[in-house]
Amino acid sequence: MAGLKCLHKASGSFVYCDDSVLQINSYQGKKGTGILMSCSEHQNGNAITRGRVDIDIMGGELTKIVIDGQVKKLLGWKQNTKVECLDLVRQ
């Protein structure tokens, strides 16, 4: 499987990460590729948020998407969004 190459600056959008703090990383292994979009705690509009999106591509097929978005509240972090799609198969 060929590695991922960006011809232009990598960019993305994720509601829990302001564009100015969003980090996009990819890694290549023997079995496939992983993409991670993430940010740590930051002021995001009227809220303090953090989050991450994990994407796995194995053997050229999308196999996993995990979305985790959290909002800081008075008593700590609140899980606002958690979506896990594991072991995906093409239909």
The CA distance from 11 to 82, in Å, is 22
pTM, full prediction: 0.79
Categorize the per-residue pLDDT at 11 as very low, low, confident or very high, splitting at 50, 70 and 90. Answer: low
pLDDT tens for 12-60 read: 567 899 989 999 999 898 889 999 999 999 999 999 999 999 999 998 8
19 with 13: CB under 8 angstroms?
A: yes
The CA distance from 2 to 27, in Å, is 12
Domain ranges of the chain: 23-85
Report the pLDDT value the prediction gives residue 6, as an integer from 0 to 100.
45
The CA distance from 62 to 49, in Å, is 27
